[in-house]
Amino acid sequence: MRTYDNPVIGGFHPDPSVCRVGEDYYLACSSFEYVPGAPLFHSRDLVHWRQIGNALDRPGQLDLPDDTPASAGIYAPTLRHHDGRFYLITTDVRGKGTFIVTADRPEGPWSDPVVVDIPGIDPDLAWDEDGNCWCALAGVTVSRIDTTTGKVLEGPIPIWSGTGLQHPEAPHLYRVGDWWYLMIAEGGTAHGHSVSIARARSPRGPWEPAPANPILSHRSTDLPIQSTGHADLVTAPDGTWWMVLLGTRPRGWFPGFHVLGRETFLTPVEWIDGWPRVGPVREQHPAPEAWHPFQLPPVRDDFDAPALAHTWISPRSRPDDSWSLTERPGWLTLDAKSAPVFLGRRQQHPDCRASVRIDPGFGRAGLSVRMDEAHHYDIEVAGGAVSVVARIGPVRQRIAEHAVRPGPLTLTVDISTADVGTRGPDTLTFSVEGSEGAVELAELDGRYLSTEVAGGFTGRVIGMYVTEGEAAFDWFDYQEALRQRPTT
| 322 phi and psi angles, rounded to 5 deg | -95, -5
Interacting residues of 193 by C-beta distance below 8 A, sequence separation 6+: 185, 187, 217, 218, 219, 227, 228, 229, 230, 246
Residue 457: CB partners within 8 Å, gap ≥ 6? 14, 30, 32, 71, 189, 261, 262, 451
Among candidates 177, 274, 190, 272, which has minimal Cα distance to 226?
A: 190
Instruction: Name the 3-class secondary structure at 299.
Output: coil
- What is the torsional sign of CA 438, 442, 443, 446? negative
Whether 169 is catalytic = yes
Q: What is the rounded distance in angstroms from the CA atom of residue 305 to the CA atom of residue 303?
A: 6
| Contact residues for 210 (Cβ-Cβ < 8 A; gap 6+) | 196, 197, 198, 199, 275
Instruction: Kindly list the distances between the CA atom of residue 486 and the CA atoms of 231, 284, 414, 479, 483, in Å, as whole numbers in the listed order.
Output: 36, 21, 19, 21, 9
The yes-or-no answer on residue 302 being catalytic is: no
Measure the CA–CA gap between 308 and 325, rounded to whole angstroms: 8
What is the C-alpha separation between 92 and 120, in angstroms, rounded?
A: 10
Which residue out of 33, 57, 169, 372 is catalytically annotated?
A: 169
Q: Which helix (H) or strand (E) holds 90?
A: strand 85-92
Cα–Cα distance measured from residue 350 to residue 354, given in angstroms and rounded to the nearest whole number: 12
Phi-psi label, residue 374: left if phi above 0, alpha if psi -120 to 50, beta otherwise: alpha
Are the CB atoms for 60 and 110 separated by under 8 Å? no
Strands, DSSP E only, in 281-359?
Answer: 284-286, 314-315, 323-324, 332-335, 341-346, 352-359
Upstream peptide bond of 237 is cis (omega within 30 degrees of 0): no
Q: Any idea which residues carry the catalytic annotation?
A: 15, 169
